[in-house]
Amino acid sequence: DAGVIQSPRHEVTEMGQEVTLRCKPISGHDYLFWYRQTMMRGLELLIYFNNNVPIDDSGMPEDRFSAKMPNASFSTLKIQPSEPRDSAVYFCASSLKRVDAFFGQGTRLTVV
Amino acid sequence: AQKITQTQPGMFVQEKEAVTLDCTYDTSDQSYGLFWYKQPSSGEMIFLIYQGSYDEQNATEGRYSLNFQKARKSANLVISASQLGDSAMYFCAMREYLFGNEKLTFGTGTRLTIIP
């Protein structure tokens, strides 16, 4: 398996634009997590899914952030409109029940 | 309240010495899992070691061992015979099993630098 695949690896966008981050989890994994990593706040859990169903989105910072998982092999994290303070590395991770999570390479987002 | 606390933002250790990275956690669940991940400067997250709350033995994986003290709610990572390649950020994480769902949260990390 190729592991968790995130795209794009880098994204630079202007403030106010919509940004969509994509994640393909490892086949067969039933959990998918979205994290945001910044120097100030470390790794924050934004939202996680179990069997494509969002379970806990309490970490999503505001209504500008939304996440979907239309099927077991694809998830998106959308920011609309984007702001400079959204600049961070966004990680997607997938796992099976009760074992360690495998992380994607991350998407480095810069909002100017 | 912080679920995972790592009190050492940074550590400098001489090569070949052992190093202990601290982690304390907070949960009211009886069943949970504790993990350590390494993040080198390249940015990827690498799984190192896992300890289940019901495991009686401390977990070990090569040079990594987890010093699990359940009553103190601590899960310190011990790296024996440190190497230059161990320089990285280290994250402690907890997987809580909540009503059939599993949440995985991370501490703020410790930046370990190995000095030659």
* Count of CA atoms in the C-beta half-sphere (13 A) of B68: 22
Q: What is the pLDDT of residue B91?
A: 96
Residue ranges of chain B with pLDDT lower than 50? none
For chain A, the average pLDDT equals 94
Residues of B in contact with A89 (CB under 8 A): 43
* Cα A48 from Cα B8, distance rounded (Å): 28
Residue A46 one-letter amino acid = L
Instruction: Report the sign of the C-alpha dihedral through residues B35, B36, B40, B46, in that order.
Output: negative
At residue A41 the predicted structure's pLDDT band, cuts being 50, 70 and 90, is confident
Residues of B near A (CB-CB distance < 8 A)? 33, 35, 37, 43-45, 47, 50, 91, 95, 97, 101-109
Closest CA to A50 of B116, B47, B95: B95
Q: How far is CA A86 from CA A6, A21, A96, B45, B72, in A?
A: 18, 13, 29, 21, 37
Q: Which residue in A has a C-alpha nearest to residue B44's C-alpha?
A: A105
Q: What is the pLDDT of residue A1?
A: 62
Residue A35 contacts B where some CB pair is shorter than 8 Å = yes
Mean pLDDT throughout A72-86? 97
pLDDT for A2 beyond 90: no
Least CB-CB distance to B104: which of A33, A41, A106? A33
Q: What is the pLDDT of residue B35?
A: 95
Cα Rg of chain A, angstroms: 13
Q: What is the pLDDT of residue A16?
A: 97
